[in-house]
Amino acid sequence: MSRLHVVSGKGGTGKTTVAAALALALATEGRRTLLVEVEGRQGIAQVFETEALPYEERKIAVAPGPDPRGASRGDSAGGGGTPRAGEVHALAIDAERALLDYLQMFYKLGGAGRALKKLGAIDFATTIAPGLRDVLLTGKACEAVRRKDKRGRYVYDAVVMDAPPTGRITRFLNVNDEVAGLAKIGPIHNQAQAVMRVLKSPETAVHLVTLLEEMPVQETVDGVAELRAAGLPVGGVVINMTRPEVLGTGEVDIAANGARRGIAEALAGAGLSGGRRGAAGVTWADGLIDPLLEEAGEHAQRVDLERTGHAELAGLGLPTYELELLPEGVDLAGLYRLARDLRKQGPI
């Protein structure tokens, strides 16, 4: 079972929301998960409706629970096979602070590290070596995956990373390979190798979030190909914001063909068509059919595009999960609802 879940996706697909829902879904039966943010957007804080995350691991939620706002770690269900409450912790990784931790860990700089910060040397280092920032971010997440307590047990059962978008996820995760190749010996080389051992191991899964739209689907297909070519473990595809098909297959065909007669027959069955006024006092002349045809045609076009997208994603041969569009938006209650939906669809 994977312990590091990297969540990526094209901008606008809701990858941060999916990462948060996944962290909640994994926090069952007393499990502890860590939700990590690496882009500095404070998206996790917004989703969980809490204050901005500091550079420290902090508990932000409990799942499952009858009241997501008021539950505590001690909450557990009695009987009925309901899972015990688990914890979700969160961390917003700051590259500068991560570099200070790194310098202290490997070079014991102590106060010298703080002096470097005042001199601006850290900003300078991450600017002239952009890949260094990604090394620090992935390294911090992988350290959380490997960390154990005094009894030798993992501190976190799972770590979920809200990662960069699909377009740069492979480079982001693979940068340690490049660093390990440049630094042949020493702590930097060893650290980069240790990170890549985690990222390319069976305990890691990279999940891609998409919508059933042409561009996100194509970017997902391309992203999977890039990840596989780099030897990075691909997990599943999460199809987000799905909408139900209002019309049946036959009705979609009628709508797609713009068949006035089919619509007219449907209206006749409801007593709404013909030259006379029906039960609702409406006639064809009142202009019902053309607006209905236009709306039904748009729906048929969307359904056709979504079915094509489904087929392309199925061709990837990966586990697929679907999360419905929440018309009212994703508030905290909606986030728990999405987490329940993920749990119902099996292990991820």
Kindly report, residue by residue over 82-117, the tens digit of the pLDDT. Answer: 557 799 999 999 877 787 777 666 666 565 556 656
Pick the more confident residue, 271 or 342. 342
- What are the start-end ranges of the E strands in 65-154? 86-92
Kindly report, residue by residue over 219-276, the tens digit of the pLDDT. Answer: 999 999 999 999 999 999 999 999 886 656 555 565 556 555 555 565 555 555 454 5
Kindly report, residue by residue over 191-219, the tens digit of the pLDDT. Answer: 778 889 999 999 999 999 999 999 999 99
**3-class SS string, 171-204:** HHHHHHHHHHHHCCCHHHHHHHHHHHHHHCCCCE
Mean local confidence (pLDDT), 36-40: 93
* CB-CB neighbours of 307 under 10 Å: 13
Please, what are the domains in the chain? 4-243+325-344 (3.40.50.300), 249-299 (no CATH)
When mean pLDDT is compared across 3-7, 36-40, 254-258, the lowest value belongs to: 254-258
C-alpha dist (Å) from residue 260 to 106, 108, 249, 255, 292: 74, 78, 17, 9, 10
pLDDT at 281 over 90: no
pLDDT at 336 over 90: yes
pLDDT for 136 equals 82
Mean pLDDT of the chain: 81
pLDDT at 311 over 90: yes
pLDDT for 100 equals 75
pLDDT for 234 equals 98
pLDDT for 346 equals 86
Cis peptide upstream of residue 64 (ω within 30 degrees of 0): yes
pLDDT at 294 over 90: no
Which of 129-143, 201-215, 267-281, 298-312 is most confident? 201-215
